[in-house]
Amino acid sequence: MNGKISKSLCVDNAKELLDSVDAFLFDCDGVIWKGEKLIDGVPETLDLLRSHGKKLVFVTNNSTKSRKQYAKKFLSLGILVNEDEIFSSSFAAAMYLKVNDFPREKKVYVIGEEGILEELEQAGFTALGGPADGKKNIELKSDCLFEHDKNVGAVIVGLDQHINFYKLQYGTLCIRENPGCLFIATNRDAVGHLTDLQEWPGAGCMVAAICGTTQKEPITVGKPSTFLMDFLLQKYNITTSRMCMVGDRLDTDILFGQNAGCRTLLVFSGLRILSISSFIFEKVQICSSTIQHCSVLPSVTLFGVTNESNYEDLSKEVKPEYYTNSIADMLRWYVMFPILCKQQKLPPHC
């Protein structure tokens, strides 16, 4: 997308996009839901896409749940999604070990939550840590010698709501002192939509802590790494040019799609504010009937980037093909197309 202008999704190009794509890849947090709240219009949009024979895949960097747990969350929100349609970073971490023939006799230490532990167990690996170690404390006496399992061959770091000094020290010692120990990050998102009202620290914070103590960089298996794309291509006989990645972050979702050769759609439903700096996009679709130009802001926090100049640099390299408010706009414009054609009231091209 370098050098190209991102286009606002509208009535004429929405149909073109749907007709030219066989599989839609959706991020979850900020696209399907925010916290435990479903975003308006999502079920109807997914039903529309399925009714037109589109494959739906859900690719999430949130490692707190396994694929099985995510399927249950979808169901609790009234959406039926098969477990094999879900590709989470917790699954990616387990699959990375599996495809790289990680020794079964070795153990895996987890700074993270149940999702990683469950995926590791399903893949046949022995895991330590996780939520259980969130209750452990260290008494820092002068003669304190912290012991760790010398048979740990990999440390996986993901979002951990119960991270503590014990986990940081355990993971650090495994990476620094166990020969050949792998350092794997599920993802490096700076923030996440853990509730529907605000953003919270993401897995990137936990990963950064271990980077600092070990002076090592991790193997990142979640977006924007295309590691998960290999599994998608094995399952679906679809070329990446016939796929569309839909997400609310440039630095993970859109970059993932761009790296894989997919078409891309950026949605603003994951943002707490709808004002985007005008140097990034020419205009933003505000509702089904109006187009409104953006105002320039002196500083804005978007997509995990807190510095405007940094985001401007990122936007020069990572540009979505399309952008819109939410995925519900796909439904709105697709349904409006035949009506406007019949009434001969098609608007000019965007």
Known catalytic residues are 22
What is the per-residue burial (b if ≥16 Cβ within 10 Å, else e) of 325-350?
A: bbbbbbbbbbebbeeeeeeeeeeeeb
**CA atoms of 59 and 246, how far apart (whole Å):** 9
10 Å CB burial of residue 287 (0-12, 13-18, 19+) is exposed
Strands (E), 162-305: 182-185, 191-192, 200-201, 219-220, 243-247, 263-267, 284-285, 291-292
Does the N-terminal peptide bond of residue 224 adopt cis geometry, omega within 30 degrees of 0?
yes
**CA atoms of 326 and 248, how far apart (whole Å):** 9
**CA atoms of 43 and 58, how far apart (whole Å):** 14
**CA atoms of 232 and 223, how far apart (whole Å):** 13
Owner of token pair 């925010």: 34
Distance of CA 116 to the CA centre of its chain: 15
